[in-house]
Chain A
Amino acid sequence: MFRYLTKRILMLIPLMIGITLITFTVIHLAPGEPVEMQMAMNPKVGKEARERLTKFYGLDKPLHEQYFNWVGKIARLDLGRSFSSDNRPVLDKIKERLPVTISLNVIALLIEFGLAIPIGILAATRRDTWLDKGITVFVFIGFAVPTFWLALLLMYFFGVKLAWLPISGLHTLGSDSWGTVRYLADMAQHLIMPVMVASFGSLAGLSRYMRSAMLNVINQDYITTARAKGLSERVVIWKHALRNALLPLITLLGFSIPGLIGGSVIFETIFAIPGMGQLFYQSVMSRDYPVVMGILVIGAFLTLIGNLIADLAYAFADPRIRQGEG
C-alpha cells in the first residue's frame, strides 16, 4: 500500500509540469490580448498607453521566458497578480470566491448523493414498475430542463409571487448587524433555491448510475445465495448488494472533487452568486492570463488529487485492487 501511494504521488510531478505547459500554451494560443481588452475602442488611448500596459504585465518578453517566470512563481505557490485593472493577487481573488463555491457544491453534492442513492436503489428493486418509470421521467426532466429557465421560474414563484425566499445573492442587506444565528439562517434561506436547482440537474446521471449498478449486483449468484439463506430483503439489498453496487459511485465521487471548486457560470450569474464560475468566465473573456491559468492549475491539481483519493478508496473497498498492486 505504501509503495503504491508513493508511486502515485511521484507520478503527480511530471503530470503537473505537463499541465502547466498545456495550460500556458492554450491560453496564449487563444486569439486576443489582455491589453487589447482594456484599451481597445477607447479614443483616449494612445499607442504608448498600450505599450506601457504590455510592459507592465511583462507581455513584451519572449514566450518561453514568460512561461518560466510563471512556473517559477507557481513552484513557490505564487500565482501572480491579475491583469484586470484591480491588479490584485490571483490567490486573493480565488480565495474570496472559493468558500462560497465549495460550500454550495458540497451541500449540493451531499443532496445529490443523498437522493440519488435511494432513488437508484428504489428504481432497481422496483424495476419496470410504475414507480421506476415515474422516477425515470422525473430525473430526466431534471436533466433536460435548462438551469436558467428553472431558476427564473422558481425565483418568480417563490421570490416575487409568494415572497417566501430571497431571489438572489447570499445575504440580505443589513444582515451584517444581525446575530450569528439569524445571519446564518438568512444565508441558508438564500441558498435554498440555488442548491435545489443545482442538485436537480445532476440527479438523473447519478441515480441512473446507481440503478444500473444495483441491478448488476442483484442478478449475481451471491445475492441469490443470500436470499436462499433466508435473509430479509432489507438485509440483502442494504447490506450485501449495496456495498458492491457503491463501488462505481466511489469513482464518481472522486471525479466530483475537482468539480467542487468549479462553478457554473449560468447558474452563478442568474443567482448573483460570486463564485468561481463567474470569475473564470470573466477572466477568460478579458484574457486575464494569470487568473485563468491559476484556476486551471488548481483545478488540474485537484483533479489529480481526486483521482488519487478515488483510487485509494477503491483499493480500500476492493481487496483485489489492493493486492494486485505492483
Chain B
Amino acid sequence: MIVLPGVRCLLMALFSSMVFAACTRSEISPVPAAVVSSSIPATGDSLVEGTIGEASTLIPLLASDASSHAVAGQIYNGLVKYDKNLNIVGDLAKSFDISADGLTITFHLHPGITWHDGAPLTSRDVLYTYRITIDPKTPTAYAEDFKQVKNITAPDIHTIRVTYDSPFAPALASWGVNILPAHLLEGKDITTSPLSRRPVGTGPYRFKEWVSGQKIVLEANKDYFEGRPNIDRFIYRIIPDSSTMYMELKAGGIDLMNLTPVQYARQTAAKSFTRRFNKYRYPSSSYLYMGYNLRHPLFGDKRIRQAITAAINKDELIQGVLFGMGQKAHGPIVPGRWAYNPAVRDIAYDPKHAAELLAEAGWKEKNSDGILVKNGTPFKFTILTNQGNQQRLMTAQIVQQRLRTVGIDVRIRIVEWAAFLKEFVNKGNFEVVMLAWNISQDPDMYDIWHSSKNKPGELNFIGFKNAEVDRLLIEGRNTFDIEKRRRAYFRIQEILAEEQPYTFLYVPDALPVVSARIRGVEPAPAGIGHNQNHWYVPKNEQVY
C-alpha cells in the first residue's frame, strides 16, 4: 500500500520528541523473542529504521510531515517532553514552575548543554525560537499556541519566563517544540538556511549525512547532556512500499519498522520470525470516524445518527479490517489516557434498535428495493473518503453493507486528497466523511469541536454546535487543575456519545517490530521510542 503524502498530513499536534506516540493501556503486549542473553549494555552498532516517507526539511519549525519530525526528534530537544507515562517533564529545562495563578511559566535550563557544533545553549536560543515562530514571515504551521503568549523574558542565560493572559493548559506542552540554534540562524532567512539539510541540534544524535530518497544517517552525540546513546548510528532508510520494507526486514536490511495489521497477524507469527524479531503492540494515538454534515437536513436529527451507529458492528470492522489489531472507539479520547471516560455508554451494535430509532424519526416504510422511504424520498447518502487508504475503503464497504440491511442506501466516493480538502471538506460539500484524527497527548480539542471553528478550512467542518460543549472546552483549556480538566472532558465525552456527531469507529494499534539484537526496548504507555538512547546491541551480536 502506498501512503500518500496527504495522508500523512492528518496530524494534529506533533511532538517530535516522541517517535512512537501511543497511550496508556495496561495490557501493552510485547511478544518476546528469544531469551535475552545475559549481556551488559554495550556501545556501538547501528539501528536501521525503515520509513515510508522521506523527511522534507530538518528544521522542524518548517516541516508539516511526520517523517521530518521523527528525524528531527533525534537531533533536537524541546524545553519539555513527555516521559514514558505521558507526563510532561523537563528536557532542556532542568525544571519549570507554574505560578499559582497559572499565568506564568518559568523554565530553568540545564547548565552546560552544548549544540552539536560546540556552542553553548542559552536562553537566547529559546527566545529566538519563539520569535521566529511567531514572525509573520515564517511559513510555519506551529505559531498558534505561541500567539497566546503575552510576554516572554530571559532574566539570565539559563532562565526563561513566559506570561499568558489567561491560564492556558496546552501552553506547557507547546514548549516541547524543538529549540533552534540562534547563533546559526539569527539574522538569516530561515527558509533558505542550509540547516534544513544539515541540522545542528542539541539532541542525542547529531546529523551526519542525507542521501536524497535513500537514507538519513545520524551519529551518537558523545557529549549528550543525558549521556551518550549506546547505539552509534541511527539510520533512516527510505522505502516507500510496505511490502518491500517487510522483505528488507526479513532479509536483515532494516531493524525497525511499523507492521501493517495483516503483516502482524498473519505473516510474522512463525517461529523463524519471532526468533529474530520482537513485535510490540499498543493503541496508536488516533481514531477513525464517520463525521456527519450536521447542516444537511438528513443528519439534523440525532436519532438518525444514533441509528446509524447502532447499525454498525464495530467489532466486525476491527476483525475484518485490522485483523483484530485495534479497539472500539466511542469518543475522541483514546482509551487509557487520563481524560478518557470509561463510563461513557457506547451505542452497541443492535440493528433492531437502529430500525426503531429510524422509525421514530419517521423512516418507516421501505420501497421495493428494501430502502427506507420518507415522503417519497429514499434514505441514501454518500460516504466520502480519501484515495490511497485501503483500510478506510474496506471500513466504508463493511459499513455500507451493514447499513443496507437496515434499509439505508450508502454510496462510497473516493477522492484524491487535495481535491478532497478543497472541493468537499472546506466547502462543506459532503454528507458523511470517513477520516481519522491523530491526536496529541493533551486532551484539548477546542479546534475540532468548538462551534466557532466552523469556517472553511477549520476543523469543525461538520458544523457541530453545542453550547455546553463550547463552555466545557474553554473550561478544560483554561486551567492547569487536572481534576477540573478531567471533569470537563468526561462530560464532553458523555455529550458526544449521546449526540453522535461522529460515529467513532476504532482506534488502531501501533505495531512496531524491532530486531531481536536490539536490547533494552521497553514498551510503555508512550510507546517504545521513549528510552531509545538506552537501547543497545551486545558486543557479540553487533553487525555494522
Residue numbers of A with Cβ under 8 A of B are: 30-33, 36-50, 52-53, 56, 84-88, 93, 96-97, 152, 155-156, 159-160, 163, 166-171, 173-174, 268-275, 278, 282, 285-287
Contacts and interface: CB of A to CB of B under 8 A. Distances in A.
B414 interface: no
8 contacts: A36-B422, A44-B447, A49-B139, A49-B143, A159-B251, A160-B247, A169-B239, A287-B418
Interface in B266-308: none
B457 interface: yes
B65 interface: yes
A89 to B, nearest CB: 10
B57 A44 contact: no
Contact of B141 (A38, A160, A166): A38
A2 to B, nearest CB: 43
Contacts of B447: 43-44
Interface stretch (B5-13, B123-131, B339-347): B5-13
A274 B422 contact: no
B213 interface: yes
Contacts of B13: 43-44
B140 A49 contact: yes
A104 to B, nearest CB: 13
Cβ-closest 5 pairs across A and B: A274-B213, A32-B418, A43-B447, A31-B419, A86-B57
Given A39-B64, A44-B144, A169-B237, A32 B139 contact: no
B77 interface: no
Given A37-B9, A47-B457, A274-B238, A85 B62 contact: yes
Given A45-B141, A155-B247, A87 B5 contact: no
Contacts of A42: 9, 11-12, 64, 141
A46 B422 contact: no
Given A38-B64, A44-B142, A272 B241 contact: yes
B238 A43 contact: no
Contacts of A169: 214-215, 237, 239, 253
Given A87-B196, A168-B253, A286-B6, A36 B418 contact: yes
Interface of B: 2, 4-6, 9-13, 46, 48, 56-57, 62-65, 68, 136-145, 147, 191-192, 196-197, 212-215, 235, 237-241, 243-244, 247-248, 250-251, 253, 416-423, 425-426, 435, 445-448, 455, 457, 459, 544
Q: Which of B212, B244, B425 has the most CB of A within 10 A?
A: B244
A286 B421 CA distance: 12
Contacts of A174: 544
Contacts of A275: 213
B212 A285 contact: no
B234 to A, nearest CB: 12
A169 B238 CA distance: 8
Nearest to A39: B141
B244 A272 contact: yes
A68 to B, nearest CB: 23
B70 to A, nearest CB: 14
A290 to B, nearest CB: 14
A285 to B, nearest CB: 5
Given A30-B418, A160-B251, 20 more contacts: A32-B422, A40-B9, A43-B459, A45-B144, A46-B143, A48-B136, A48-B143, A49-B141, A52-B137, A88-B196, A96-B212, A159-B251, A168-B247, A173-B46, A268-B240, A270-B243, A272-B238, A272-B241, A285-B4, A285-B5
Contacts of B4: 285
Given A37-B6, A285-B6, A31 B418 contact: yes
B215 A173 contact: yes
Contacts of A171: 214
A60 to B, nearest CB: 13
Nearest to A46: B144
Contact of A272 (B136, B239, B419): B239
A32 B196 CA distance: 26
B56 A285 contact: no
Contact of B421 (A32, A44, A88, A269): A32
A165 B317 CA distance: 39
A84 B53 CA distance: 13
B485 to A, nearest CB: 17
A161 to B, nearest CB: 10
Contacts of B544: 173-174
Given A56-B139, A87-B62, A32 B417 contact: yes
A245 B191 CA distance: 56
A226 B250 CA distance: 60
A147 B436 CA distance: 31
Contacts of B9: 37-38, 40-42
B23 to A, nearest CB: 18
Contacts of B417: 32, 37, 285
Nearest to A163: B251
Nearest to B62: A85
Contact of B10 (A32, A41, A160): A41
Nearest to A287: B418
Contacts of B241: 269-270, 272
Contacts of A40: 9, 421, 425-426, 457
Contacts of A170: 214
A52 B136 contact: yes
A141 to B, nearest CB: 22
A286 B420 CA distance: 12
Given A52-B137, A285-B6, A85 B422 contact: no
B65 A85 contact: yes
Contact of A269 (B2, B140, B235): B2
A87 B68 CA distance: 14
Contacts of A287: 418
A160 B213 contact: no
A157 B147 CA distance: 56
B68 A85 contact: yes
Nearest to A56: B139
A45 B235 CA distance: 31
A31 B421 CA distance: 9
A67 B213 CA distance: 30
A31 B244 contact: no
A286 B137 contact: no
Nearest to B425: A40
Contacts of B139: 49, 52-53, 56, 85
